[in-house]
Each structure stands twice: as structure tokens, then as C-alpha cells.
Amino acid sequence: MRRCVRCRTTAPKAELVRLVRDADRGWRLDPSGTAAGRGAWICPDCAARASERELKRAFRGSAAAVAAELSAHLSERPAREG
């Protein structure tokens, strides 16, 4: 079980999106959930609705890059039913 950095709900790993901080201190998407480095999890609903201010708090100022990664990922991912 993992916890969303925005809404703090817990969910299985497969239902959340993982972002990992890489060596140059930037955040990138980790679709496999196995990349080395500091990771943060966010649920798809929060990723779609998160404001830049909320992303800044969760990802320590890298909000613009994180928002771009998430929107690109969510546009590729099929919508959840139910």
C-alpha cells in the first residue's frame, strides 16, 4: 500500500502514479515503480486536479515539470471505470 502525496489516501501500488527524484534533483515519471531514488506517489484523480501550489508543496518546488509529466502520462492512460 502506498499513500498519495496530495490527498493522503492509501491505495495499492498499481493504482497510483510514481514520480522519482533523479540525480539532477528533478522529478520524472516512473511507470514501472522500481527506479532507484526518492519516490512520491500520487493518485490519478489528484494528478488531474492538483494545482501548482499543491504540487510545489509535495514536490519541493518542481511543480511545472511535475505537472507536465503528469498531464502527458494521464492523456496516454485509459480512464478508470467505476
Residue 45, domain member (yes or no): yes
- What is the value of pTM for the model shown? 0.69
Number of structural domains (the chain) is 1
Residue 82, domain member (yes or no): no
List the CATH number of the domain containing 67.
3.30.1230.10
pLDDT at 76: 74
For residue 61, what are the domain limits? 2-76
The b/e string for 5-32 (b: 16+ C-beta within 10 A; e otherwise) is bbeeeeeeeeebbbbbbeeeeebebbee
pLDDT at 60: 66
pLDDT at 37: 83
pLDDT tens string for the chain (82 positions)?
999 988 899 999 999 988 887 777 777 888 888 888 888 898 888 888 877 677 777 666 666 777 777 778 777 765 554 4
Residue 71, domain member (yes or no): yes
